[in-house]
Structure 1
Amino acid sequence: MQQGHLTVKSDLRLLNQVQQWFEKFCLEYLAQLGWSESQLYRLNLALAEGFTNAVRHAHRSLPPETTIDIEVTLWFDRIEMRIWDYGSPFNPDEISEPQPGTLQIGGYGWFLLRRLGDRVVYERNADSRNCLLIVKYFLGESN
């Protein structure tokens, strides 16, 4: 098991820093375990979506100095990513998935996260923060 932690301000300009930290932290370890580059890319995309959702939605009315905590835990059979924000809680299950051939405002990020992760949970914690948990299990290249 390996664990990494990053704290950044609520600023979309820091997305590249977040993604570079993730790649540096994960790349060698996941490659040793047999994860492919395409799997790493999808995980990085999920992290980017979670981070940008926290900045754009959860922290929309909060000062840019408000921090976002990111924790990544690598296990031999899975990766767990946690993104904590200080926004108002909401229930993502109330967001309807876009129907093929139709347009809707919002909801595409949650649709994407559900497709990229094997388990996606967003819940309010006792410390008045929300935690987005994204879990991806290693099942070989088809993943």
Structure 2
Amino acid sequence: MHSTMQQDHLTVKSELKLLNQVQQWFEQFCLKYLLQLGWSESQLYRLNLALAEGFTNAVRHAHHALPPETTIEIDLLLWSDRLEIRIWDRGKPFNPDAIAEPEPGTLQVGGYGWFLLRRLADRVVYERSVDGRNCLLIVKYGLQNH
């Protein structure tokens, strides 16, 4: 069992304008830890995009009926072999597997973010936790696993 090497936590309100703050916080974490471990710029770019997608989904969809003061919590957990991003929201439960994959060349309203996330990360899970929050888990494995 690998133990976590580094972790960080951020709590923000449900406001799209805070995306910059979220991404800057993530970039600081990358600069501090991931680049030194040999993670590539392109891996970090993909993770930043996945984080942005997860955060904006939480604001736009999970929290659309809730006040902007409703918090979104983000955890970064860096293990020796992977990075986990956990985005916690307080919206209604939702089953991403119920979204139909867009057909190539067709237009579909919604659902794209979910497929983008799956392409950017190695593993994506969205689960309801016992405390009534939802957790979007985004996992990317380090270099030695590819």
Verify same fold: TM over 0.5: yes
After alignment, is 60-69 or 92-101 more displaced? 92-101
Q: What does 1:41-56 align with in structure 2 at a 5 Å threshold?
A: 41-56=45-60
Determine whether 1:97 maps to 2:91: no
Deviation at 1:75, TM superposition (A): 1.4
The CA distance in 2 between the partners of 1:119 and 1:134, in whole Å, is 6
**Large movers: runs of 4+ above 6 Å:** none
The CA distance in 2 between the partners of 1:64 and 1:134, in whole Å, is 24
2:92 matched to which residue of 1?
88
For the aligned residue pairs, the C-alpha RMSD in angstroms reads 1.3
TM-score by length of 2: 0.94
Q: Amino acid of the residue matched to residue 135 of structure 2?
A: C
Deviation at 1:13, TM superposition (A): 0.5
The CA distance in 1 between the partners of 2:8 and 2:121, in whole Å, is 19
The CA distance in 2 between the partners of 1:10 and 1:101, in whole Å, is 33
Is the Cα–Cα contact under 8 Å of residues 91 and 134 in structure 2 kept in the other structure? yes
Matched residue SS, 1:6: strand
Deviation at 1:93, TM superposition (A): 0.3
Q: Amino acid of the residue matched to residue 99 of structure 1?
A: E
Q: Amino acid of the residue matched to residue 25 of structure 2?
A: W
Matched residue SS, 1:87: coil
Deviation at 1:77, TM superposition (A): 1.3
Determine whether 1:15 maps to 2:43: no
Q: Amino acid of the residue matched to residue 55 of structure 1?
A: V
2:6 paired residue among 2, 5, 15: 2
Aligned residues: 142
Q: Amino acid of the residue matched to residue 17 of structure 1?
A: Q
Report sequence identity in percent: 80
Q: What does 1:67-78 align with in structure 2 at a 5 Å threshold?
A: 67-78=71-82
1:26 paired residue among 19, 25, 30: 30
Q: Which runs of 5+ in 2 are unaligned?
A: none
Q: Which runs of 5+ in 1 are unaligned?
A: none
Deviation at 1:32, TM superposition (A): 1.4
Q: Amino acid of the residue matched to residue 84 of structure 1?
A: W
Q: Amino acid of the residue matched to residue 46 of structure 1?
A: A
Deviation at 1:97, TM superposition (A): 1.2
Is the Cα–Cα contact under 8 Å of residues 102 and 108 in structure 2 kept in the other structure? yes
